[in-house]
Structure 1
Amino acid sequence: MDSSFVRLSLQNSQRFIPFDLSEPTLWVSMISIAFSPAVWNIVARNEYRNHTLTRKVFGGNARAACHFLAAVIFSFGMLRDVLYRHALLQQPHKLLLPQPWNTLVGGVLIIGGQALVMSSTWQLGITGTYMGDYFGILKDSRVEGFPFNVLRDPMYVGSTICFTGGAFWGERPIGLLVSLWVYLVYAIALQFEGPFTDMIYSTRAKLQAPEHYADDAEVKKRL
């Protein structure tokens, strides 16, 4: 592709969403966004198959192992948010909407996104939120209260909304592109998490079925 065409396209794009791709904090932020779901899926799947944390680190205590992973995921999430805010401060400033709407929209999005995240955590609890099913800590039934009665994945949706709100609140249009990146990362993560979680619960259901009480060795090994 002609380099002059690329430069012209970038210049035209910056009329609407100004950005500075040479700023390393932007790339660090985007890497941190992709890093967390990738790592926690790898660690959780290994735990389901090999019980590494449960057996080798926490002496067979699955709940303690899950709480440890929860603390790690939460800490990385806080670091990710700090890196995002720092990256926005290094990017060109521009109002996305006329004031006071810009600040109001940003505030509403942040509050709404946090409400989805916090209510999801309240409904699921620590182990339900942080991959407890991979540790063998399964819920008796599907959670159907708010916000799960209106969204399938409210925690991921809420997090994406918070990133979008941060772009408005911080008056940095590049935040909208980063929010799109967040959405894509979570969408990819769900392609792995969803089917695997469904498999865990279907395996539990198979084990509990009367015809498999006797000696379904393969199912027992997987749990």
Structure 2
Amino acid sequence: MGLRRGYEVLSKCKVQGTDKMAALEEYVRLEDPNMLIAALGIILKPGIWTVMCRSEYRTRWMTNLFRSKYTACSVMAVTILLMGMVRDSLYMTALQGQPSLSAIQLPVVGYAIAGIGSLFVLSSFWRLGWYCTFMGDYFGIHLDERIGSFPFSVLDNPMYWGTTLNFVGVAFMMGSPAGLLLCGLIVLCYKILLTYEEPFTADIYSKRGLEQKKV
């Protein structure tokens, strides 16, 4: 009886799992090449800038190339912005080829979420300035002190999470389960990025503090 009961439970779980996969496939076309391309764009953007900035911090190759840390950082900023435009375009292209789900097609909610995201992004830029928004720490361009006012008083890394909210907002505007799936990938990428970036940045400021004490 025990074996039979176990088999019945296993069979039921298998059927339920199959039903869930069928439901997922109904609203998310994973075979669409645009989904894969968008996913690659989401993954590559933070990966590329992390590699470039870390190599700059260790070797100063960009600063030496452009003969100014400010010019080098501006080039990095333009690179990040261009990669962001490509990623955004790939995201929109992927969503346009995916089914929509009326239950989550909530334009008002989407605009509200995107509005909050934009507030975090723009206020972060205002507080950090051009250079420190775009990885200035790695180029030897530092803030005088840690920012504790809004939006940094609300959450850490508001630029990243504000950007994520913008993507979530678009997914709700379009009622796109595929969009929410890609947003999950964005969150995962930022989480992984921050596990490396936060300690690295903390180390940069720690070394800077020691140098200032010596002076």
Scaled by the length of structure 1, the TM-score of the pair is 0.86
Matched, 1:121 2:125: yes
Q: Structure 1 CA distance, aligned partners of 2:103 and 2:89?
A: 22
Matched, 1:75 2:82: yes
Q: Using the TM superposition, give the Cα deviation of residue 67 of structure 1 relative to its aligned residue in structure 2, in angstroms.
A: 0.4
Q: Which amino acid aligns with 2:32?
A: E
Q: Deviations over 1:43-77 (max 9, x none)?
A: 0000000000100x202x00000000000001110
Give the conservation status (yes or no) of the 8 Å contact 1:36–1:73.
yes
Query: Where does structure 2 lack aligned partners over 5 or more consecutive residues?
Result: 1-13
Q: Structure 1 CA distance, aligned partners of 2:70 and 2:114?
A: 31
Q: Structure 2 CA distance, aligned partners of 1:140 and 1:193?
A: 20
Q: Using the TM superposition, give the Cα deviation of residue 14 of structure 1 relative to its aligned residue in structure 2, in angstroms.
A: 4.5
Q: Structure 2 CA distance, aligned partners of 1:20 and 1:14?
A: 6
3-state SS of the aligned residue for 2:102? coil
Query: Where does structure 1 lack aligned partners over 5 or more consecutive residues?
Result: 214-223
* 1:34 aligned residue (43, 49, 52): 43
What is residue 190 of structure 2 aligned with on the other side? Answer: 186
Matched, 1:199 2:203: yes
Output aligned runs, 1:134-149, within 5 Å.
Answer: 134-149=138-153
* 2:72 aligned residue (34, 52, 65): 65
What is residue 31 of structure 2 aligned with on the other side? Answer: 22
Give the conservation status (yes or no) of the 8 Å contact 1:117–1:158.
yes
Give the conservation status (yes or no) of the 8 Å contact 2:60–2:139.
yes
Q: Structure 1 CA distance, aligned partners of 2:115 and 2:185?
A: 21
Q: Deviations over 1:60-99 (max 9, x none)?
A: x00000000000001110111111011000011222347x
3-state SS of the aligned residue for 1:140? coil
Q: Structure 2 CA distance, aligned partners of 1:106 and 1:9?
A: 25
Q: Structure 2 CA distance, aligned partners of 1:70 and 1:167?
A: 27
What is residue 60 of structure 2 aligned with on the other side? Answer: 51
What is residue 162 of structure 1 aligned with on the other side? Answer: 166
What is residue 103 of structure 1 aligned with on the other side? Answer: 107
Q: Using the TM superposition, give the Cα deviation of residue 134 of structure 1 relative to its aligned residue in structure 2, in angstroms.
A: 0.3
Q: How well do the aligned residues superpose, as a CA RMSD in angstroms? A: 1.8
What is residue 96 of structure 2 aligned with on the other side? Answer: 89
* 1:13 aligned residue (19, 24, 30): 24
Q: Structure 2 CA distance, aligned partners of 1:50 and 1:68?
A: 16
Runs of 4+ in 1 over 3 A off after TM superposition: 4-9, 12-15
Q: Structure 2 CA distance, aligned partners of 1:114 and 1:12?
A: 32
What is residue 218 of structure 1 aligned with on the other side? Answer: none
Q: Deviations over 1:18-44 (max 9, x none)?
A: 110110001110110111111111100
Q: Structure 1 CA distance, aligned partners of 2:103 and 2:200?
A: 39
User: Which has the larger share of helix?
Assistant: 2
3-state SS of the aligned residue for 1:209? helix
Q: Deviations over 1:117-168 (max 9, x none)?
A: 1110111011111110100001110011210011111111111111111111
